[in-house]
Amino acid sequence: MRAALTAALALAGVLHAAEPWQDARRSPDARAAALLARMTTEEKFRLIHSEFGEPEPSRGWTKPAGALGSAGYIPANPRLGIPALQESDAGLGVANPLEIRPGDGATSLPAGLAVAASFDPDLAQAGGAMIGGEAHAKGFNVLLAGGVNLQREPRNGRNFEYAGEDPLLAGRIVGAAIRGIQSAHVLSTVKHYALNDQETARNTIDVRIGEQAARESDLLAFELAIEHGQPGAVMCAYNKVNGDWACENDFLLNRVLKGDWRYPGFVMSDWGAGHSAAKAANAGLDQESAAEAFDAQVFFDAPLKAAIAAGEVAPARLDDMVRRILRSLFAVGVFDHPARPAPIDVAASMAVARRAEEAGAVLLRNEHDLLPLAQPASIAVIGAHADKGVLAGGGSSLVTPRGGNAVPGLQPTAWPGPVTYHPSAPLAAIRALAGQARVDFDPGTDPAAAAALAARAQVAVVFVQQWAAESIDAADLTLPDQQDALVEAVAHANPRTVVVLETNSPVAMPWLDRVGAVLAAWYPGSAGGEAIANLLFGKVDPSGRLPITWPRALAQLPRPVLEGAAPGSPPPTAVNYDIEGADVGYRWFQRQRLEPLFPFGYGLSYTRFEHEATKVRIVDGVPQVAVRVRNVGTRAGADVMQVYAQTPDSPVRRLAGFAKVSLAPGEARTLTVALEPRLLAHFDVASRRWVRSAGDFALFVGHSATDLAAPVHVTLPAQTLDP
């Protein structure tokens, strides 16, 4: 009876301080070591591979007993009080396909690009805390979140999960989101490590790139995200990097992550990214994910046992794998704060999602101050199921909406679908703010009918969309379903046309010069309809700035043709990222002297800001840039002060610091930004250190990567940065 009670208390997460690992006053390392010492070999092996948590009858998969029903599951260990690991995908919210409470669903943030476009780490952290809180209240304690892959490829179907093209912005935003998730005592990953920058041939492609270029771009984004967020786990990617699979890549896992960065957590494989036992274990993989469903076999069971018995893997390596997993669980609070069902404040979650969309939508065009709408007499709302909801991206990050899919039945209905709309209808939100104005809707399927409605309205608001998803890339940037013809027809009928983009990434806009305003809403999330209406009517100021460069044409890209993306085209075996190297996005455009359609950092406001009196001082060898920002317009708004640095080694400017500030009309405030030292240096492969060259550094303050004031010059001595 006593043993049964002890087991029940352990499963419930009730810890008694009789055992040293149950003492929360001890460090995570000490607790992990104490628990590891009590584990049998079989108990250790049970912790290093998870099961797939979802049933799939067509493929013979059943939901494991005890699993909540999501991405992954490892059973509890009642003898030692180790809680079950309940894992859910969570790029934008708790992606819980089986819905622990039927019909409940979860709250989805807008696209990761929208959160990045806010240039606001505090907002990203609040979003992460919301997701972590909902996960904890659903019983999940591990979230597969933290996507920080850089946007090298604007046609990548998974860009909406990530945080743009710049390593500093992406690393800080994603790090803050991870910090928010883990504040709820839910372990977060950072993913997909590394250079998983396209979906085409993602399971086979070999990414070719030199070490210095990788360290100064994609790997720097991961390095910063890990420093700022301290994620409990790193998820390694599907692709190869310079010939080796990412999940058995000694350079990525042992040399860089665990060696140079001294990462104390564990590495888990992506679902289907495991390829070996001995090689993967020796290269640094600590946990194999859902292997029985996705890998060729469960490598981290019998094959790894055999490898250890044969002397191919040291027994100490198994202990290191388990120690790292336990340490992360202790560090995040998974043991001490067990996840169990609890009420969710849905209104508070929705408010977080709405604020994220309001801060991340980017106003790209606003001719003659068409926006904000000033109580027009009549409005035509057209297209993109705006009468029902807002579009979401597809794949493992898809969050099941509360209330269900607002537009069910659209193809594809199977993976990576179903195509899903969150039931936050822009039409209803616009009507709620339009006062006495007449607001009519047209589905946009017939351009002539839509144009006729637009001609009768004072203002036309056209919603256009581009569904994208994990596992597929677009072949080009063209809007599907003849939507360009729709916009052309509406704009011809009514020059006071506003276009709202619900898209994964940049799209071609051949009609741009003929419309009055364009708002990039990305995938707007659970409260997207209300947020879009608030922006259109000026209840909030659009303060998003582009986290990506918007090209004029595919010919401007390092790889104008994305091999394998077009239907029927053969998949590529490799991709060459040494073409642009570390100069991703706006840095490539500078290097090639190309003019984008819209530059990185760009975004309009309903007010105007001036930057005054730039001053630089050196503190502990690092420049700090102080700028007085003034709102010289007539409305309250928010500005993003961006600082770009040009080093003596390079002709290319890099974002080295940024800050966002909200100001009332006429208000001014001085912002001080300490520049990121690695953006003032280069990575020296021989010494494996960041090295700053001596010489003249030009520091540019401005509103985007191309809208910059005259530089301030500082002379800095050579410096090798501490590891």
- Angle between helices 167-182 and 218-229 in degrees, nearest 10: 30
H or E segment to which residue 235 belongs: strand 233-236
Q: Which of 89, 120, 166, 270 is catalytic?
A: 270
Q: Is the dihedral of CA 209, 211, 216, 218 positive or negative?
A: positive
How far apart, in whole angstroms, are the C-alpha atoms of residue 679 and residue 223? 13
**Cβ neighbours of residue 550 closer than 8 Å, sequence gap 6 or more:** 364, 506, 596, 597, 598, 599, 602
How far apart, in whole angstroms, are the C-alpha atoms of residue 587 and residue 653? 7
CA dihedral 486, 492, 493, 495 (to 10 degrees): 110
Reduced to 3 states (helix: H, G, I; strand: E, B; else coil), residue 256 is helix
Pick from 47, 106, 97: nearest CA to 70: 97
How far apart, in whole angstroms, are the C-alpha atoms of residue 70 and residue 88? 5
How far apart, in whole angstroms, are the C-alpha atoms of residue 91 and residue 174? 10
Q: DSSP assignment of 549-581, as one string?
A: -B-S-GGGSSSSS-TT-STTPPPPSEEETTTTT
Order of strands across the sheet that contains 517-520: 362-366, 517-520, 497-502, 459-465, 378-382, 438-442
Matching residue, tokens 């969710």: 344
CA distances 319 to 85, 284, 316, 667, Å, are: 19, 12, 5, 58
Radius of gyration over alpha carbons of the chain, in Å? 26
Concerning whether 270 is annotated as a catalytic residue, the answer is yes
**How many helical (H) and strand (E) elements, i.e. helices and strands, does the chain have?**
19, 29
- The CA angle 289-293-297, to the nearest 5 degrees, is 80
**Cβ neighbours of residue 11 closer than 8 Å, sequence gap 6 or more:** 76, 78, 83, 84
How far apart, in whole angstroms, are the C-alpha atoms of residue 350 and residue 359? 14
How far apart, in whole angstroms, are the C-alpha atoms of residue 288 and residue 163? 26
Residue 103 tokens read as 């019909």
Q: DSSP assignment of 2-60, as one string?
A: HHHHHHHHHHTT---TTSGGG-TTS-HHHHHHHHHHT--HHHHHHHSBPEE-S-BGGGT
**Cβ neighbours of residue 142 closer than 8 Å, sequence gap 6 or more:** 72, 85, 86, 87, 88, 186, 187, 188, 189, 232, 233, 334
Matching residue, tokens 């584990």: 39
Residue 525 tokens read as 């999330």
CA distances 374 to 433, 437, 537, Å, are: 11, 11, 7
Instruction: Give the active site residues.
Output: 270
